Amino acid sequence: MVPRRPGRRGLSRPIGRRRAAGDTGILDVAGADWGTPTGRSPEEVCRRVLWRDRSFVLLWAGQTVSLVGSQVTVVAVPLVAALALGAGPWEVGVVAACGRAPYLLFGLPAGVWVDRSRRRVVAGVCAVGQAVALAVVPAAAAAGVLTVWLLAAAAAVAGTFAVFGDIAGLALVPMVVPRASLTRAQGAVEAGQATAQVAGPALGGWLVEAVTAAGAVLVDAVSFLVAAVALAWVRVVERPRPGGTVRAGVRAVFGHQGLRRVTLCTATHVFWFNAFTVVLLLHLVSALGFSAARVGVTLSVGAVGGLVGALVAARLGERWGRRRTMVAAVLATGAGQALVAVDALLVGAVALMWFALQVYHVHQVPVRYEAAPAALHGRVNATIRTAVWGTAPLGALAGGLLGDAVGPRATLVVSGLGAATACLWLVRARVG
């Protein structure tokens, strides 16, 4: 029996025990029995442990800051293409596809490379790389040489760094978070993302009008530098092991019934969501005549739903069960996307979409942590990112083609209906 000693505030913890599985060599807070102090529920204990973990807080803060910057770019890049360069739906779709294509091209080998490397270092270096790639856009605009193709190239380079950085960042979460707190931790990550979705578009719209769309992209570049500094202070013991193959990650994902179905569900939704995002800003600017600032405020107000969804997702799952919660969330997300086409329901539809999307993500990400050993997390994340985000460039191109053929409004409706069908993958999924 492992000897125990009392911890602070009545918690008990094991002495000197380390994780047996995987190549991380970190203290096994994930498998520890933290006890239940008098007067405190297990949920409260997990929450307290989570927010006292300095490394998790730094990791969460860095990701959240970079996400705010990325949400600025979500508004700024299409407006650079549409307003400054005169691009139409198809060209905006090409730029979006170039940003997502690296997941399809490099996702699987990136997972092997990340598992053989120190994940914290990889995430930090890639954050700096994204900052440099994005900084090219305002520099080229200032020099008067910015074109749609240069914008697409910058998106592709930034996307390549994002492939490695995202995979490494995801693999860091279960290394610094107790196993019992993984769903809560993912809820916190999604809450940070939702906060970014609330603050980022409004900030982006204001920056586009204040310093031009290209200048607003510079904010995203700075945000990645902030994330790199935060990662430098994260403390985690890593012992990367040479060897390992892509096949191991693919087998871990597609050989597990629940994880396979969740991955295919997410991939289906991402395809239609990217078709949706390509035409959304064009619809708001061209059909509704919104200014950049009004576009940002509209998206920010609607994104409040995402923050609420991230905060209540864990409780919804505890009440309804994970699978039913995920099915309902996917259906609601598709409904929200389709209803954006109804002008009177615009803000409410965006709020519904983000609420449901964050609920889904809070529950789908922990499935991979539970289904795969820690030593494979890099390759598992890479396999999932390749399968999921590999559909993103195809969805962006489909959105551009549909936008040119039937118009942005009809494309919004079609994308919502398509996104709702993703729930069919979950009907018999074994996800707990």
Give per-residue pLDDT as tens, 358-413.
899 888 888 887 888 877 877 887 888 888 888 988 998 999 899 989 999 999 99
The count of other CB atoms within 10 Å of the CB of residue 271 is 24
Nearest to 88 by CA among 410, 342, 399: 399
CA distances from 339 to 135, 276, 292, 308 (A): 36, 12, 22, 19
Q: Which range has highest mean pLDDT (17-26, 62-71, 88-97, 148-157)?
A: 148-157
Residues 6+ positions from 129 with CB-CB distance below 8 Å: 157, 158, 161, 165
Retrieve residue 162's tokens.
Answer: 């994002």
Q: Which two tokens stand for residue 426?
A: 């979950």
Among 9-18, 125-134, 155-164, 360-369, which is the least confidently predicted range?
9-18
Task: With beta carbons less than 8 A apart as the criterion, state whether 264 and 386 touch.
Answer: no
Spatial separation of the C-alpha atoms in residues 377 and 380, rounded to whole Å:
5
Tokens 């390992």 belong to residue: 244
Phi, psi of 13 (to 5 degrees): -145, 155
* pTM metric for this prediction: 0.67
Half-sphere exposure of 56 (CA within 13 A, CB side): 24
* Region 197-210 average pLDDT: 76
Is residue 35 classed exposed, middle or buried when 0-12, 13-18 and 19+ CB atoms within 10 A define those classes?
middle
Evaluate whether 191 touches 199 at the Cβ level (below 8 Å).
Answer: no
For residue 311, what are its two tokens?
Answer: 């905060």
Gap between the Cα atoms of 98 and 79, Å rounded: 16
pLDDT of residue 120 exceeding 60: yes
> How does strand 4-6 pair with strand 12-14?
antiparallel
Contact 281, 295 (CB under 8 A): yes
User: Where are the extended beta strands (E) located within 121-216?
Assistant: none
pLDDT at 426: 93
Contact predicate 352/305, CB 8 Å: yes
Question: Could you give the 3-state DSSP secondary structure of residue 4?
Answer: strand
Task: Give tens-digit pLDDT for 412-429.
Answer: 999 999 999 999 999 888
- Rounded to 10 deg, the angle between the 257-282 and 54-79 helix axes is 40
Buried b (16+ CB within 10 A) or exposed e, 273-309: bbbbbbbbbbbbbeeeebebbbbbbbbbbbbbbbbbb
